[in-house]
Chains A and B, each alone.
Chain A
Amino acid sequence: MKNKLLNLTIVLLGILLAVLMVFTISELYDTGRVYRYKAEDLLRFVREQDYGNMLHCVYMNEAGEVYASEDMKECYAVAHYYEAATFYKAYAQCGKSEEAAKQKKVMEEQKALMGTLTYTAEEIDRKLGLEN
C-alpha cells in the first residue's frame, strides 16, 4: 500500500514537472518573440494600399536583418518608394527643390527594384496626386 502511494506520488510529480517545464519554456518564448513580417503580410499591405503601416513593418524586418525573398525585396522597394514619394511631394510643395530632387532620385531607384509590383508606383503617384 505504501509502495503504491510512493509510486503514484512519483508519477504525479513527474507529470507536474513536465507540464510546468512546457509552460515555462512557452512563457519565456512568448515573452521574447518578435513577429517577422513575411511576404504574404507585406503583399496584403500592398493590396490594401496600406503603405504607411507597411513602411514600419519593412523597417522592423530590415532592423532584424530578416532574410528577404525576391517578393519581399519588391515589397520593400514599394514601401521605400512610398516614403520617398510622400517626402518628395512635401519638399516640392514647400519649395525645397534640392531635397525634392534627392527624393525623386530615391523614387526612381526604388521603382527599378519593384519588379512585378511596378504598377504600384502609379497607384502611389495617383494616391499622392503626383501623376503630373
Chain B
Amino acid sequence: MKCQSCGSELHIEDERCPYCGNANPHYKKHRLEMKKYQKDYEAVRRNVYTKAGIFTKRNAKITVIAVLALLNVVMLILYVNAWDIYYFWEQQAVKRNAAVHREALAEMEAQGDYFALVAYYDEHNLYYGSGSALDEYWNVCAVSRGYYEVYKGLTELTEENTYTSMEKRIQYICENFESMYRYSEQKEYDRPECFRREHVEAMEDMKEHVKYLLITYGNITEEEAECFEQLSNAQKQLALERGVGGYEE
C-alpha cells in the first residue's frame, strides 16, 4: 500500500510512514483485527484440546467400568462354584499323590492299624480320588470307619452319659455293625479290586476283633458273638441290652 501523504511504499504493519512520519490510518484497524483473530485462534485451539481431552478420559473410564464389571462377574462365578473348584483341586492333588497314599494305606492295612487307616483317609481327603489307584481301599476304609465307631461305642457303653440314652447308644453301635457287614460283603456292582485277598483279610480281621470287643465290653457270650453278624438289628440291640443289664446287675 502507499502513504496517503507522500505516496511512498507503506506496509500495513507500519504505525507511521518511514519517509514522512505521518500516521498510518489502517494500522489501528489492522492491529485490532489481528488481536481478534489471535483471540479466536486461541479459543478454537482451547476448544479442540478440551474436547479431545474429555473424549479420551471418558473412553478410559468406560473401559475401566467394563473391566471391573467383568471381574465382578468372574468373582461371582468363582464364589458360587467354590465347592466345585475345591473338589477339582483336591481331586487332582489326590491323583497326583496316589502312589504315596497307596503305599501308606497298604502299610497300615498290613499292620492292622485300622484306626490310623481311616484317619489317614479322612485327613488326606482320599474319597476325592475316585477313579484312581486308591479306589481299591474304599471298602476297607468304610469297614474301618464302622469298626472304630463300634469300638468306641462298646468301650464306652457302660460309662455314664447324660447326653445320650443307653438305648440310643446301643442303636448307634448296631447301625455301625450293619455298616461294617454291609461294606465287607462283595456285591455284583462292587469293584473287584476292593475285594483283593489282603483287603478281605483285613475286613475279616476287623470283624474278628469286634467279637472280642462284644464279649469283653458288650458282655455277651461267645456263642452270641460268633453269630452276631447273622442276627437282625433288633436282635443285636436286645443282645447288647441284655449284656449291659448284666453289667448293671
Contact = CB atoms under 8 A, between A and B. Distances in A.
B71 interface: yes
Nearest to A89: B216
Contacts of B65: 6, 9-10, 13
Interface of A: 2-3, 6-7, 9-10, 13-14, 16-17, 20-21, 23-24, 27-28, 31-32, 34, 52-53, 55-56, 59-60, 62-64, 83, 86-87, 89-91, 93-94, 96, 127
15 contacts: A3-B61, A10-B61, A10-B68, A13-B69, A14-B68, A20-B72, A24-B79, A24-B82, A28-B85, A28-B86, A55-B115, A56-B115, A56-B148, A62-B119, A93-B212
B76 A31 contact: no
| Dominant secondary structure of chain B at its interface with chain A | helix
Given A6-B61, A86-B155, A96-B212, A63 B75 contact: no
Interface stretch (B2-10, B12-20, B22-30, B120-128): B120-128
Interface in B90-109: 90
Interface string B70-86: 01100110110011011
B62 interface: yes
B82 A16 contact: no
B213 interface: yes
B123 A34 contact: yes
Contact of B119 (A14, A27, A59): A59
Interface residues of B, number: 41
B151 interface: yes
Interface in B34-73: 58, 61-62, 64-65, 68-69, 71-72
B75 A93 contact: no
Most buried by B among A23, A28, A90: A90
A17 B72 contact: yes
A109 to B, nearest CB: 15
Given A23-B79, A32-B90, A87-B209, 19 more contacts: A6-B61, A10-B65, A13-B68, A16-B72, A24-B82, A27-B79, A28-B86, A52-B151, A52-B152, A56-B119, A59-B115, A59-B118, A63-B122, A63-B123, A83-B115, A90-B216, A93-B216, A96-B212, A127-B159
